[in-house]
Amino acid sequence: MRIMIAAVGRFGASRGKVGAEKSLFEGYARRLSFPFTLKEVEEKKPLTPELLKKAEAEKLRASMPAGAITVALDSRGKTMGSEPFAQRLQGWRDEGVSDLVFLIGGAEGFDKSITDQANLVLGLGPMTWPHMLARVMLIEQIYRAQCIMTGHPYHRD
C-alpha cells in the first residue's frame, strides 16, 4: 500500500526557511516501510476564502492517484486512538488498497466537496494545531501504526 500526504502549503514557505517541523517530518518519513510521498500544493492567487478552498480542493484532487482511499484531516472529524488507527490502516492494507491519501487543508479549511467525498474524516483532537505541526503528528501516527502492525515495541499500551 502506497501512502501519500497531500497538503496545502509548503514547509518553510511562511518563514522563507526550513524549520524544525520539516526535520521532524523527514525523520519519521525515513522510518516508514510503506512507499511514501508528500505532495504540497499552493494557490498563489489572492482569492476569497470560498474560492480559495475550491481552488485548493482542485489542486489536492489533482495530486491524488485515481481510486485512492482518502482521509481528510479536519478538527470536526472522528478521533481515534493509535491502536484503532493502526487497525484501520491494516484493514485497508489487507483489503488490497493500493493508494491511501491523507489530506491536510489550508488555513481556511476544506471545501465541503473534500470532506463529503473522503472515505474518512479524521480529527487530531479538539485543539487547533498549526498545519505544519499537524503533518508531523500525522506521520508520527502512521509510523506508530506501522509499529503496532508489526509488533515493534515503539508503541506501548
Per-residue pLDDT, 156:
80
Which one-letter DSSP state was computed for residue 59?
H
C-alpha cell at 152: 515493534
Note whether residue 157 is domain-resident.
Answer: no
Q: Could you give the CA distance from residue 132 to residue 63 in angstroms, rounded to a whole number?
A: 19
* Residue 61 maps to a domain: yes
Position 145 in a domain: yes
**Whole-angstrom distance, CA of residue 135 vs CA of residue 38:** 10
How many structural domains compose the chain? 1
Q: Does some domain include residue 155?
A: no
| 58 inside domain | yes
Q: Is 82 helix (H, G, I), strand (E, B) or coil?
A: helix
pLDDT tens for each residue of 97-145: 999 999 999 999 999 999 999 999 999 998 888 989 999 999 999 999 9
Examine residue 75 and state whether it is found in any structural domain, yes or no: yes
**pLDDT, tens digit (0-9, with 9 covering 90-100), for 25-72:** 999 999 999 999 999 999 999 999 999 999 999 999 999 999 999 999
* DSSP-derived 3-state class of residue 69: strand
Q: Does some domain include residue 156? A: no
For residue 59, the Cα-to-chain-centroid distance in whole angstroms is: 15
Closest to 63 in 3D by CA, of 118, 96, 9, 101: 101
DSSP 65: P
This prediction's pTM: 0.95
Beta carbons within 10 angstroms of residue 34's beta carbon:
16
Q: What is the CATH number of the domain that holds 37?
A: 3.40.1280.10
Residue 110 lies in a domain: yes
Domain that holds residue 22: 2-150
